[in-house]
Amino acid sequence: MTKDSLGLGIDTTFDDTSVAILRGHQEILANLTLSQYRDHAEFGGVVPERAARKHLEVIHSLIDEACRKADVKLEELDYIAVSNLPGLLGALLVGVMVAKTLSFSLKIPLIGLNHVEAHPYAGVLSGQPLQYPILHLVVAGGHTLLMHARDHFDYEIVGRSIDDAAGECVDKVAKLFGYPMPGGPVVDRCAVENPGSSYEFPSPRIHEPDFDFSFSGLKTALLRFKEQEPEKATQDESEVLACFFRSLARVLIYKTFRALDTYDLKRLSVSGGLAASKFLKEAFEVEAKKQGIELWYPPPKLCTDNAAMVTCLASYRYAAGLYDDLLMDAHPNLLS
């Protein structure tokens, strides 16, 4: 029965409006995302109020378009899914209100989800059902998390960013060098095309015994370098950014594999927008092979925010009968 369930998922956590329709756990019938990057460019960062308004402007037509593309009528849906945490409160509320309205009027279950918990499910969509126990590394724009998962919905956060997330750090450093959001693709290209061996930047907290991350000091190191060595920063920019990204990747890889060892795990998934990096993917593949770890790694287009991964997580909740009611709230922060 669950295999053929038909779900519609909505994600409006930050600055992308995304709607997906999924059959079963992994057949994507529609997965549409409208990015707001240009709408916030003149402000140098995402303006929460503007993000919420932009979601509101496009959400209904995006749902219509998803239904057309999937050739599905709303009445055929089995459940409505929506990310209700974490994110910008106003932005989250747009998705939550639309989802509640659809659930109420169509008389079908409402399923609220943690957007960060959904990132690893991007791998399922590319035909790799998750196996447990597994360690999830999620490297998104707003969060860097290590999650020790024993089963679906049963996980413990064992490491997290205590200041800037890895993606946030990359975006801020790219901005220092004059690049607009998102900074990840340009920094990744530099890392792939350059040796990344000429400059030494810190790898913060790499030897701390816990699994928490801190990347704001690395960002400050790049700021200082730019102030102290303006010529090198300009003339050798690609190599500087390559060295920076290697420092950041070194921390992610070292701590992740140490966590696998500590928790005696043999499976790893890497997901989230920064995982779209070609450099990072290759580095994780090499290390996983060396250490005999089975790796789940979604294709780049499913690493960045999309509603299909949210609907995929929801399809497992639907199968387990884990629904929410109309009192469901939106939460800006992670709950655990």
Does the protein bind Zn ion through residue 140 (CB under 5 A)?
A: yes
Q: How far is the CB of 13 from Zn ion (least distance, A)?
A: 7
Q: Which residues are bridge partners to 112 per DSSP? A: 82
Question: Strands, DSSP E only, in 96-162?
Answer: 110-114, 134-139, 144-151, 154-160
Q: Taking Cα atoms as reference points, which of 98, 101, 96 lies closest to residue 112?
A: 96
Binders of ligand KG4: how many residues, by CB under 6 A? 20
- Strand pairing category for 6-11 and 79-85: parallel
User: Is there a binding annotation on residue 272?
Assistant: no
Q: How far is the CB of 108 from ligand KG4 (least distance, A)?
A: 27
User: Is there a binding annotation on residue 188?
Assistant: yes
Whole-angstrom distance, CA of residue 268 vs CA of residue 131: 10
List, edge to edge, every strand of the sheet that includes 134-139. 154-160, 144-151, 134-139, 267-271, 294-296
Q: How far is the CB of 78 from ligand KG4 (least distance, A)?
A: 26
State the binding string over 181-200 for ligand KG4 (x if CB under 6 A, else -): -xxxx--x------------
- Partner in contact with 117, chosen from Zn ion, ligand KG4, none, beta carbon below 5 to 8 Å by kind: none
Options 53-61, 144-152, 256-264, 267-275: segment touching ligand KG4 (CB under 6 A): 267-275
Question: Which amino acid would we find at residue 212?
Answer: D
Does the protein bind Zn ion through residue 305 (CB under 5 A)?
A: yes
Residues 110-169 that bind ligand KG4 (CB under 6 A): 140-142, 167
User: Is there a binding annotation on residue 7?
Assistant: no
User: Is there a binding annotation on residue 196?
Assistant: no
CA angle 46, 52, 55 (to 5 degrees): 105
User: Is there a binding annotation on residue 148?
Assistant: no
Q: Are 19 and 34 in contact (CB under 8 A)?
A: no
Binding site residues, Zn ion, CB under 5 A: 140, 305
Binding site residues, ligand KG4, CB under 6 A: 14, 140-142, 167, 170-171, 182-185, 188, 272-274, 276-277, 300, 304-305
